[in-house]
Amino acid sequence: MNAPFQSTSATSDIDPRLPLQLLIAAPRGFCAGVDRAIEIVERALEKYGSPVYVRHEIVHNRYVVESLKAKGAVFVEELDEVPDDAPVVFSAHGVPKTVPAEAERRNMLYVDATCPLVSKVHRQAERQIEKGQHILFIGHEGHPEVIGTMGQVPEGRISLVETVADVAKLPFTQDDDLSYLTQTTLSVDDTRKIVEALEDRFPQIVGPKAEDICYATSNRQAAVKQIAPSCDLVLVIGAPNSSNSVRLVEVAQRMGTDARLIQRATDLEPEWLEGVGTIGLTAGASAPEQLVREVVDRLSEWRQVEETIVTTTEEKMVFKLPRQLTD
C-alpha cells in the first residue's frame, strides 16, 4: 500500500483561488453485483416491455431508482402490488424463500437480481442447517439483506448478532452445535471483533470457508483507510439506507477524520470547506460515477480543485446475467 498523501490543510480564511486537494478513492462506486442488478432491470424492460415491477429498491440509491423509473420500472414493496401477468424483479439484496414461493404459486414471471455473493451466503446457511447447526448471523436488524438471509432457514434456527455486547447475551453453551455467517456489507473491523467474541465464548463454532463480507465492501473500506489520514474531510456519496456507504463514513471517522454522507452534490454546503485544504472523496457500491463527477464539479465552483486518484486495488469482477434474459 502506498504511503499516505500529505494534507495541505488551510486556515479558515483561505483564499478561494487557492487549490483544494481532492483525493479520490479507487475503487469506489458500483460493484459487480450492482452493475448486474441494474442491467437485469434494463434487460427485462427491453425483453418484456414496460412496466417491469421491482420488489423494493433494486439497489439503495435514489438516483438509480429514479433513472429506472424513467425507463418504465415500477417499484413496489410487496408482490401483492404486482399483477399476476406482469414481470417482477427481486432486488440485489436477496429475498426470503417465501417471496419466490409466492411468485411461483401465482405463476408469475420473476427474475432474481440477488447479488451472487449474497446468494453464496444463502447456500451456506442451507448447508449449515442441513448439518444441524444453529446459525448466529452477524448483521444489522431490518436491513433487506438480513431479512433475506434469515428467511432462507426455518424459524428458530438462526439468531441475529449485531454487536460484541450481543454475544454475551446469547442463550447457548459450548455444547451447542453452532455456526456463524455475516451480512456482506459490514464494517470489516467491527465484524472481526464480533467473530473473535463468538470464537472466544463458543470455541466449537464453525465459520464459513471464506469471508462473507464482499470484496467490494472490503476494498472500499481499505481505500478510505488509505486516504483518510491525509484529509481534513472525507465525503462519501451514498444513501442513508446503504449499509456499505454508512460504513465508509464510520471508517473515516474512526481514523480521526471528519466525514459526511451525501446523496448528491446539492447536499454540499460551502462552509464545509472552511479551513479545509484536502478532501477525500469516495462512493458506496450503489452510487454511480456520474454522482462523483457531479460533486467534483460543485467543489470546482467554490475552489480550484486539484484531483488525485488514489488506487489501492483493481477490481475485475463480473457476474453473469440470469439465463432467462440472455437466451
What CATH number corresponds to the domain at position 188?
Answer: 3.40.1010.20
Sites in the chain below the pLDDT cut of 50: 1-12, 14
Task: Let me know: does 281 contact 230? Beta carbons within 8 Å.
Answer: no
Strands, E, within 152-277: which ranges?
158-161, 178-182, 233-237, 258-262
129 shares a domain with 205 = yes
Centre a 10 Å sphere on the Cβ of residue 118 and count the other Cβ atoms it contains. 22
Domain holding 65: CATH number?
Answer: 3.40.50.11270
84 shares a domain with 36 = yes
Catalytic residue among 145, 196, 274, 306: 145
Which residue type is seen at 97? K
Predicted confidence at residue 17, as pLDDT, reads 63
Which residue type is seen at 225? K
Q: Is 327 domain-assigned?
A: no
Q: Which three cell numbers stand for residue 149?
A: 438471509
Predicted confidence at residue 15, as pLDDT, reads 59
Boundary (domain end) residue, out of 212, 234, 266: 212
Domain with 302, as residue range(s), is 19-30+215-311
253 shares a domain with 191 = no
Boundary (domain end) residue, out of 63, 82, 112: 112
In the annotation, is 145 catalytic? yes
Predicted confidence at residue 18, as pLDDT, reads 76
Residue with cell 439506507: 241
Q: Is 199 domain-assigned?
A: yes
202 shares a domain with 180 = yes
Q: How many domains is the chain partitioned into structurally?
A: 3
Predicted confidence at residue 211, as pLDDT, reads 86
Helices marked H in 55-170 — which ranges? 62-71, 98-105, 116-130, 144-150, 164-169
Centre a 10 Å sphere on the Cβ of residue 127 and count the other Cβ atoms it contains. 12
Helix and strand tally (H, E) in the chain? 10, 12
Q: Is 11 domain-assigned?
A: no
Q: Is 316 domain-assigned?
A: no
Q: Is 127 domain-assigned?
A: yes
61 shares a domain with 107 = yes
77 shares a domain with 134 = no
Boundary (domain end) residue, out of 96, 112, 128: 112
